[in-house]
């Protein structure tokens, strides 16, 4: 039985500064490109039967530099829609609200420009996981995407609600391994790279 490798794109300007980056299509910084290249050896030791990537350039470029050839561009792997919080930091949002804001507790609901709910992201990543599970009998599957969407996906792999993604911090340019033990989904490795 294969494993699912979840790989977060390398550093961008906004991931460096802590700005929430959903659909804004930013390129990798030079250090983000180096982070992606540094994953090449770890990825080369696996036989991938499928490599699904987010359509955003930071994920596609990370896959390429890590030595992965995309077999599918998957819109379900795009990052959360942050709505009116796009491009803003947690500190900025918290100051505006007058209390500490957390995407995991409060979501992306901005009255003027609502974003996507964690439940909706959970539905999207469940579809990704269904497609990946169908291929695991043939080998490994790589999913190259973004921090929050991969955290929700990991929670769903483990049978947890989307909000449990709060427990799976995944730095830029790092990867995790979703596997099985005694027939149960497990987290086999995290924040590797």
Residue-by-residue pLDDT tens, the chain, 193 positions: 999 999 999 999 999 999 999 999 999 999 999 999 999 999 998 999 999 999 999 999 999 999 999 999 999 999 999 999 999 999 999 999 999 999 999 988 666 788 999 999 999 999 999 999 999 999 999 999 999 999 999 999 999 999 999 999 999 999 999 999 999 999 999 999 9
CATH number where 10 lies: 3.40.50.1240
Beta bridge partners of 53: 73, 144
CB 13 within 8 A of CB 30: no
3, 9, 86, 116: which one is catalytic?
A: 9
Please tell me what DSSP assigns to residue 29.
P
Flag whether 125 is in a domain. Answer: yes
Full domain range(s) for residue 37: 4-82+117-192
89 within domain boundaries: no
Residue-level pLDDT at 113 = 83
Q: How far is CA 47 from CA 67, 77, 139, 141, 187, in A?
A: 12, 21, 6, 8, 19
79 catalytic residue (yes or no)? yes
Residue 170 lies in a domain: yes
Q: Binding site for substrate: residue ranges?
A: 21-22, 58, 79-82
Within-domain flag for 64: yes
pLDDT at residue 78, rounded to an integer? 98
* Domain contains 127: yes
In a domain, 92, yes or no: no
User: What total of structural domains would you count in the chain?
Assistant: 1
Q: Does residue 93 sit within a domain? A: no
Residue 136 DSSP symbol: T
Q: What are the CB-based long-range contacts (under 8 Å, 24+) for 122-130?
A: 122/152, 122/155, 122/156, 122/161, 122/162, 124/76, 124/149, 125/76, 125/149, 125/152, 125/153, 125/156, 125/162, 126/156, 127/76, 128/52, 128/74, 128/76, 128/77, 128/153, 129/4, 129/153, 129/156, 129/157
Residue 101, domain member (yes or no): no
Of 3, 50, 79, 86, which residue is the catalytic one?
Answer: 79
């Amino acid at each position: 039985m294969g494993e699912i490798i979840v790989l977060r794109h390398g550093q961008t300007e906004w991931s460096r500064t802590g700005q929430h980056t959903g659909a804004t299509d930013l390129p990798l910084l030079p250090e983000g490109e180096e982070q992606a290249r540094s994953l090449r050896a770890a990825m080369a030791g696996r036989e991938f039967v499928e490599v699904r990537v987010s359509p955003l350039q930071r994920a596609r470029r990370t896959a390429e530099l890590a030595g992965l050839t995309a077999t599918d561009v998957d819109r379900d792997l795009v990052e959360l829609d942050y709505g009116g919080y796009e491009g803003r930091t947690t500190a900025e949002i918290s100051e505006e609200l007058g209390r500490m804001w957390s995407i995991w507790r409060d979501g992306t609901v901005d009255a003027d420009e609502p974003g996507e709910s964690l439940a909706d992201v959970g539905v999207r990543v469940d579809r990704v996981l269904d497609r990946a599970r169908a291929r695991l009998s043939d080998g490994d599957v790589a999913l190259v995407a973004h921090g929050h969407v991969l955290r929700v996906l990991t929670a769903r792999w483990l049978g947890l609600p989307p909000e449990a993604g709060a427990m799976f911090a995944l730095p830029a340019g790092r990867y995790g391994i979703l596997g099985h033990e005694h027939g149960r989904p497990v987290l086999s490795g995290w924040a590797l790279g």
